[in-house]
Amino acid sequence: MSEKSEKVAVLWDKANKDYLTSKALIETGDLDCFSGSICFHCQQCAEKCLKAFLMHNEIDFPKTHDLLLLLRLCSEINSGFNEFDLSEFSSFGVEIRYDDALPTIDETKKAFEAARAVMDYVKGEIL
């Protein structure tokens, strides 16, 4: 396995673990309690998936948590990424950890669905 392939595999594994963490927290049924953690892991899942796609395609990207920037870079080489709207939960990677406002149950469900959609799409493109 090439060094690039190993790095993509590591990112993909971490993205999957973030997804599974958010799924497990959702399955507790206590979205009020876990909304912040769920949304954080959803953001992290999407971020790592986008970075894995870029790395797989040998596209340099800055060290960032900005989903919109990563999504734009992905869209430049694959127009399918234009279908995703990640603007509502791009801030869940950093700001949510310090901001007093927690996501609503609706925002939490949307973040989970968006993360799953990004993961499914990227999986079809790189695996």
d(CA 1, CA 67): 28
pLDDT tens per residue, range 71-91: 999 999 999 999 999 988 877
Its pTM stands at 0.93
Neighbour count for residue 39 (Cβ, 10 Å): 27
Domain boundary assignment for the chain: 3-126
Which tokens hold the place of 80?
């399918």
d(CA 59, CA 17): 24
Which tokens hold the place of 124?
């079809």
Domain 3-126 superfamily per CATH: Nucleotidyltransferases  domain 2 (1.20.120.330)
Work out the average pLDDT over 56-62.
94
